Structure 1
Amino acid sequence: MSKKILVWFRNDLRLHDNEMLVEAIAKSDSILPVYILDRRSFGETKYGTLKTGNIRAQFILESVLGLRSSLKQIGGNLLIAEGNPEDIIPQLAQEYEITEVYHHREVAREETHVSTLVENALWKLRINLKHFIGHTLYNKEDLPFPIKDIPDAFNQFKKKIERDSMIKPCFAAPDRINVAEVIDWGVLSSLEELNLLPQQKDQRADFEFVGGEAEGLAHLQKVIAAMQQAATTKNLILASKLSAWLAMGSLSPRKVYWEIKKMEGVPNTKAMFNHILLGLLWRDYFRFMFKKYGNTFFSPDGFGSQGLIDVVNEQDNFNKWKNAQTGFAVVDAVMTELNQTGFISNIARQTAALYLINNLEVSWVFGAAYFEEKLIDYNPASNWGNWANVAGVGNDQKSKSVFDLDKNIKNLDPKGNYSLTWAS
């Protein structure tokens, strides 16, 4: 009997640097690439927000279709289904006589719960679910410490990992693929079928995100070109805006690292290189912290105790904040940009968070849930980890005194141009 491996794609929508895909091709006669649109990811949260808003949903759909296109170019395809993975994957496994299922391991509670349900269902069929790790710059097994001993302080984590660990080379993208015979590869739902409306482009936005591996790789090359141009300007730091493709796994963090490292010898690019590398390290840090501490990051009190909550006015204050109606110009500008584009800078995120928590006295989890709905580059570990840190309930308690609203506003909008541009 021929060996068939089902490759379950989730937030790893790429061919390049994908160990799971490379091993599946090497160890099988044919593979069945599958993506499952789980409607639970588009429902409502207990905070009255959506799990996934229209801007990120559009980016997800584009990313999935981008993967299908990439697979078709090497002789394959992507089976697209809709429903619960724990129901669909066992059905596909039986229908196509699958011998093993491959997927990338996640770290947040909802994603890991779905993995467990799938694993249990497959176990009943005596089919193994093999886990891969491919979301981080540094592999877990290459860390200089076990997960339980990872330093809580980011600076210690960064120092030790850069000194004692190595970043592995990327896996080459396959140039051909042999897939199972499928009569109907499926159709991806539209935004409207997900009960969402397309976002009208805001003319104030200076950048447009389009999902998919090809788009992500093309944007990475634009970032590198910008770094080359920066050779004439000392210490220029540009916003790379790679995070959305990293969140969907359309770009590998290792691919980003090795591509920008090629610029290492070019004068005046070190600041930009360090800026991008720092972002990749923060992504790793929060992912490993979720692996270490699990669901503590979703608790309002986290690793400490959150501050004062204006219980009487909390919902009203939250609504004003998310609708850009606080009356505080910079914060309203930040929220307008977020609502219209799905992306804001890191300092803008901190500014909005500090105002919601300290000035409006709303529990930080409301803000984290709203960012989950709106951010095009949302991933659970970075979003909830960063919000917990700003709220002073993160695992690194030394970071409590780091955040300063007035200082942030001066850096974000020193001349008031930002507030004027994004006035709601």
Structure 2
Amino acid sequence: MTQTALVWFRRDLRCHDNPALVAASAADDLLPVYCFDPREFGKQEYGGPNSFSFEKTGGFRTRFITESVADLRERLHEHGSGLVVREGKPEDILPELAAAHDADELHLSAVPTSEERAVESAVTAALADEGVEVQSHWGHTLYHLDDLPTDARIIDDTFTPFRKAVENESTVRDPRPVPVLPPLPVTAGGAETGGEAMGEVPTAPCGTEPATADERGALPFEGGETRALERLESYLWEGDHLREYKETRNGLVGSDYSSKFSPWLALGCLSPRYVYDEVKRYEAERVANDSTYWLVFELCWRDFFQFQFVKHEGQHFRREGIRNRTDIRWLWDDQRFRLWATGQTGIPFVDAAMRELNETGYVSNRARQNAASFLANNLRLDWRRGAAYFETKLVDYDPCSNYGNWAYIAGVGNDSRDKYFDIVWQANRYDPDAEYVKRWIPALASLPTEYAHEPWTMPRHLRTEYDLELGTDYPEPMVRLERTYDHLE
């Protein structure tokens, strides 16, 4: 009897090193599927006290997702397969496809976050009625869940002990090559030529329009496995940038100060194990140094947050966080939040970060940490609202990394210390020539460097000379930073 399998792509939009695809390829016939779930788009409610609505997926990530799905279809086609694309809830679509093609099993890549797990449970329940076995595969982290030194549910809540444990006691598995893919089911009429039965990749999925990034952006991120592998080749081998990664990773302007793999890693267009394998090859053929180690170190940080969500599940989304901090009085101020979100705080380093985010969907790690710290620590606004805003805007949004990092900075996450940034010090340290703030805040472009990060300290006669009127050309600072640090000491 011919065995037919479905493989349901979610955050694993690649053919290389894809355990779910490898397992599904053991079937006689294989039907790959991607669903644009309407719950991932449009206005969504964030529950709890002072609930609010936000755009779940903004225009930049929408474009990146549609490009990635289109690229996945092309790559599957090159391997003799194809991709069914549908708009709708997976628990409705997948049982219909399973019944239409008499499928025996469905394979998917596991993710640790609550919303995705709830959908997976709904799909499993719906397919049980069709007699379809569901098999879940772990494949989006550097270290496999089964290879951790201890069960993920009891791992340390601090990064350094976790890192030392996996470095000393775990091994990174070899990436899996693209398998030989079985043919599409004959019942998928027209599939071999990409016919109508396979569905179109929507230009505006579930009504969300894609956005085009400002040309001042760090990199014109284009979705898909093809572009992910090209970026890896360009950064490591053609540009030879990895040898100086540790020294340049805190940069703010340009395409190559950091790897910028994060959008492709977040959507699964790029496997972290494949990156690791390439780093090890680079170390063997070119150089092994602190920079090559540091890229793997950053992948380990990414793993840490993924496994923390396995351990703590939805607690990371609570205002009190995994530390159950009830001693912080979080404020709710719509006007102050809007000033932060639109880059009108009067603090140039924060405003530049938010303007870059709003115009491109991307912002460097250094800049986003400072922007987050300002909202959570200087303004004491509910950190979850800032995290949700990042969720809307970021092209490299990953729920575990985003909410894990926000909780960490807000002092409710994976650190026993209060974590805040001296923003002006950070600005002078990492943007010493004020190139970044001048790039994103034209009103400050002509200012002498020593005043660009603190225009409020500029003498009035110089403001007149440089044609800068605070409150008109650029906002007065909404808070006096030095005063807001007092409660954080």
Instruction: Pick the TM interval, shorter chain.
Output: over 0.9
Residue by residue over 1:71-104, the C-alpha shift from the partner in whole angstroms, topping out at 9 and shown as x without a partner, is 1111111001110001111111111000011101
Structure 2 residue aligned with 1:247, among 266, 280, 285?
Answer: 266
Distance 1:423 1:195 in 2: 32
Residue by residue over 1:220-259, the C-alpha shift from the partner in whole angstroms, topping out at 9 and shown as x without a partner, is 0011126636769995553000010001111000001111
Q: Give the structure 2 partner of residue 123 of structure 1.
A: 128
Q: Give the structure 1 partner of residue 96 of structure 2.
A: 91
* Residue 155 of structure 1: how far off its partner (Å): 0.5
Q: Give the structure 2 partner of residue 224 of structure 1.
A: 236
2:416 counterpart SS class: helix
Q: Give the structure 2 partner of residue 383 of structure 1.
A: 402
Residue by residue over 1:136-190, the C-alpha shift from the partner in whole angstroms, topping out at 9 and shown as x without a partner, is 0000111111112211110000011001000011111135541213131011211
Query: Are the equivalent residues in 2 in contact too, given 1:230–1:236 (CA < 8 A)?
Result: no
Distance 1:236 1:346 in 2: 12
Residue by residue over 1:186-242, the C-alpha shift from the partner in whole angstroms, topping out at 9 and shown as x without a partner, is 112112x54334434423224110001111001000111266367699955530000
Root mean square deviation of aligned Cα: 2.0
Query: Are the equivalent residues in 1 in contact too, given 2:42–2:207 (CA < 8 A)?
Result: no
Structure 2 residue aligned with 1:367, among 371, 386, 396?
Answer: 386
1:187 aligns with 2:208: no
* Residue 265 of structure 1: how far off its partner (Å): 4.0
- In structure 1, runs of 5+ residues without a counterpart are none
Task: Read off the aligned partner of 2:14 and give its amino acid letter.
Answer: R
Cα 1:284/1:185, change in 2 over 3 Å: same
- 1:24-423 aligned at under 5 Å gives the runs 24-26=24-26, 28-46=27-45, 47-181=52-186, 182-183=188-189, 184-191=197-204, 194-225=206-237, 228=240, 237=249, 238-265=257-284, 270-302=289-321, 303-305=323-325, 307-311=328-332, 314-394=333-413, 396-401=414-419, 403-423=421-441
Query: Are the equivalent residues in 2 in contact too, given 1:231–1:266 (CA < 8 A)?
Result: no
1:251 counterpart SS class: coil
* Residue 411 of structure 1: how far off its partner (Å): 3.3
Query: Are the equivalent residues in 2 in contact too, given 1:102–1:130 (CA < 8 A)?
Result: yes
Residue by residue over 1:279-338, the C-alpha shift from the partner in whole angstroms, topping out at 9 and shown as x without a partner, is 211111000000000000000111232633333xx1111111111111211111100100
Task: Read off the aligned partner of 1:38 and give its amino acid letter.
Answer: D
Query: Are the equivalent residues in 2 in contact too, given 1:234–1:268 (CA < 8 A)?
Result: no
Cα 1:402/1:94, change in 2 over 3 Å: same
1:23 aligns with 2:23: yes
Cα 1:156/1:5, change in 2 over 3 Å: same
Q: Give the structure 1 partner of residue 487 of structure 2.
A: none
Query: Are the equivalent residues in 2 in contact too, given 1:235–1:271 (CA < 8 A)?
Result: no
* Residue 109 of structure 1: how far off its partner (Å): 1.1
Q: Give the structure 1 partner of residue 483 of structure 2.
A: none
Cα 1:267/1:118, change in 2 over 3 Å: closer
Query: Are the equivalent residues in 2 in contact too, given 1:30–1:180 (CA < 8 A)?
Result: yes
What is the aligned-residue identity percentage?
Answer: 38
Residue by residue over 1:52-88, the C-alpha shift from the partner in whole angstroms, topping out at 9 and shown as x without a partner, is 0000000000000110000111111100111000111
Query: Are the equivalent residues in 2 in contact too, given 1:236–1:268 (CA < 8 A)?
Result: no
Count residues in correspondence: 419
> Which of 297-306 and 247-256 deviates more?
297-306
Task: Read off the aligned partner of 1:43 and give its amino acid letter.
Answer: G
Query: Are the equivalent residues in 2 in contact too, given 1:235–1:268 (CA < 8 A)?
Result: no
> Which of 199-208 and 147-156 deviates more?
199-208
Distance 1:91 1:227 in 2: 48
Distance 2:136 2:346 in 1: 49
Query: Are the equivalent residues in 2 in contact too, given 1:235–1:269 (CA < 8 A)?
Result: no
Cα 1:401/1:58, change in 2 over 3 Å: closer
